[in-house]
Amino acid sequence: MENKIKINVQSEIGKLDAVLLHRPGSEVENMTPMNVQRALYSDILNLSIAQKEYEQLSGVLSKVAKVYEVQALLEKVLEQPAARVELLQRICRTEDVMSYFDELVSMNSKELSRVLIEGLPARINTLTSYFKNEYYALYPLYNFYFTRDAAVTIGNQALICHMANKVRQRESYIMDAIYRNSGVFECRTIDANTADNPQIIMEGGDILIAREDILIIGNGVRTTPQGIDFMIERLRSSCPRGRYNVIVQQLPSEPESFIHLDMVFTLLDNDKCMVFKPLITQANQYQTVHITIDDGVVTSIRPVSGILSALKKLGMDLKPIVCGGSDEWDQEREQWHSGANFFAFAPGKVISYARNVHTLDELSKNGFDVFKASDFIANGPSVMGEGPCVVTIDGSELPRGGGGARCMTMPLSRGAVK
């Protein structure tokens, strides 16, 4: 049996040692224009093209880190009878399909893992089920390739999120089961789904670890103030002794491309970040709040003049690089297609979509070399040299789901940042 991996994530940019991914599969195609809104997409995807694009992402990451796959880990969970029953009962009760429990529990682990992700067609054997006009009893997990959202690794802990939309709730149950019962991970879990308060909602795209003593959290349609209070209450007992800081950034409720903080702000290097200028560096109506925790006790909650200003006072002086460059139209267009959503696999080494050319130009002006994912995969990490760089993946289909490289990656272990 392989040694367990110890969850250890203390930053957004530390050298990536291990990452959790989910390759988009048939669940993405189990969608029509009629249910695209319920699936939380802006459009339906061409799966074959989306998979080719995703293989560039996974190919790059496999060159620099150990890659774990959600479906393989879910199969490990389902091989254990008690864990299988626990997960299925939780899913069936939440989604009101207990009548399908016996059918599900009797499936072999490989088939069951597929069904839990790709969906289970409904039995149309009563007038009630006929008039319900639903093809699926268990809906496909259309968004699961965005592995960032259902759980968050913070330090040596996994926070299991209570998702904003019911269509995604099963993702968090699966992630909880994987962290607790796959036998692969060593970590403490905090499950927000056990809280008896429906207003406690959070998703991983809103949660950034700036430093081991600084958490940045977006407050918007996917993460509520109650969700942030829950996180602080559960995490403060395990905060490092001394001072711990939580910076909260309010987000607009629309357009839908603003659903998470990491769609407007991500960290690139020790001294650089990517920003959507109108929301992060320009004056606007949305508050930034600094919460101070001293030795596990909240001692201050006060407004500050933006994320960058708050970070600078805490010793992190970041140069903002503007998504879309200087033109406002380009900023809006490229932000819509996840132009601010970067994933760092080491300090100054990041992944992005190739389509956001004005953003890439800004990175180039700021010392980042730009490489195609195909060149990186063919030649290995040596192609990128010692300086900052961005590795680009094709992105005609993947962005239609509403996310970028950070959304599609769940870091499990990172090295320390000097």
Residue 36 has pLDDT above 80, yes or no: no
Positive or negative, the CA dihedral 8, 173, 262, 391 is: positive
Task: Give tens-digit pLDDT for 59-85.
Answer: 999 999 999 999 999 999 999 999 999
For residue 99, the SS3 value is helix
- Tokens found for residue 375: 């060149």
The least confident of 140-144, 318-322, 382-386 is 382-386
Task: Give tens-digit pLDDT for 147-163.
Answer: 999 999 999 999 999 99
- Predicted pLDDT of residue 32: 59
Of the pLDDT bands very low, low, confident and very high (cuts 50, 70, 90), residue 28 is: confident
Question: 29 φ, ψ to 5°?
Answer: -85, -15
| pTM for the full predicted model | 0.94
- Predicted pLDDT of residue 380: 83
HSE-CB at 154 with a 13 A cutoff on CA atoms is 27
Of the pLDDT bands very low, low, confident and very high (cuts 50, 70, 90), residue 35 is: low
- Predicted pLDDT of residue 386: 85
> Which of 132-141, 143-152, 382-391 is the most confident on average?
143-152
Task: Give tens-digit pLDDT for 91-134.
Answer: 999 999 999 999 999 999 999 999 999 999 999 887 877 777 78
- Predicted pLDDT of residue 193: 95
- Predicted pLDDT of residue 303: 97
Question: What structural domains does the chain harbor?
Answer: 5-85+140-414 (3.75.10.10)
Please give the order of strands across the beta sheet that includes 188-191.
151-154, 157-160, 188-191
For residue 121, the SS3 value is strand
Mean pLDDT for the chain overall: 93
Mean pLDDT on 207-234: 96
SS3 track for 189-224 = EEEHHHCCCCCCCCCHHHEEEEECCEEEEEECCCCC
For residue 389, the SS3 value is strand
Residue 216 has pLDDT above 70, yes or no: yes
The alpha carbon of residue 173 and the mean position of all alpha carbons in its chain are separated, in whole angstroms, by 15
**Nearest residue to 57 (alpha-carbon basis) of 28, 22, 30:** 22
Mean pLDDT on 15-40: 78
Decide if 142 contacts 151 (C-beta within 8 A).
no
